[in-house]
Structure 1
Amino acid sequence: MGNIVLIGMPGAGKSTVGVILAKTLGMDFVDTDLEIQRIHGRLLQDIIDNDGIESFLRAEEEAVLQVSRNRAVIATGGSVVYSSKAMAHLKKDAVIIYLKVELDTLRKRIRNMATRGIAMGRDQTLEDIYKQRTPLYEKYADIIVDCSNRDAEGVVALIRRSLNRFGP
């Protein structure tokens, strides 16, 4: 297995689970949101507020296309699934894992909607993007992990069991 790519909604735990999973498996860890910030020298929310969502999505695609790691756990931004080009790049020699979290749980977890750097229009709600993105997450996922009522360690254990079917 090459890479493990985590996709899912903001607040699903991709970064938190990704770090623990990488440590557990002895792999590198890449957070594409942090890569966007590194490349552009700006916060995600600053890019969205000042350049617009389309510009942010292009920046996200560009950052993902630059990821060329092998044997890494890659935590993506929640909007990466809008780019078929980025997803095709991530899917090469990788297992795509969708961290599925119910909308009510996400509402409780996300307290900083205005500053978190979520690619959504001013007139959109968390429910709107949840309904829009869920079919895309399911489309790209090799494995769907239900994160409901599980802490990060429990999610990592579930992922490890699910990965067994993909071999060493």
Structure 2
Amino acid sequence: MSILYLTKKNDEFISFCSCTESLVGDPGQLDCPWCGCGWLFSCTKCRKAFSFAVATEIDKTWEEIAAEDLYSYSKRQATHEEISEWIENMQAMQSEIELGKTYVYLDGVFIATDEENISIEGWYAKHEFEHVPQLAAVTNSEIRKLVLSNPDYWRKNQLSDK
């Protein structure tokens, strides 16, 4: 039985992961999203970051992916409760992905790279872009400095309850 899941698409923009199978892990976003934890995917095996993922059918169960991701994060076997919580979170985050589409991660949300006029309230901040910033950064490296890695950008747009 296969499931629809996000896997690393390529090495464009930023990619530190070189695993042969790079599945998207649960975002471990901290209070410093500009460090990359707020705008990069992490691999379930090596925990290294990458920018672009594609919705693919894979021959694994949600439980297998959860156990892999949680183990690579904590270096211990996850409890049934942790696995259930992980699955619930990731299924919610991936509920609207479409087979073959490319996605980026931004502040708690998976966004298709073909989306335009993006307006989201993330876990940390409110964001408004004409185009996905990671995609724009492939051809304009200033986007990384001005937006994605910029603490001032994130703090200026920070939600008031943070």
Same fold judged by TM-score > 0.5?
no
TM-score after normalising by structure 2: 0.30
TM-score after normalising by structure 1: 0.30
Higher helix share: 1
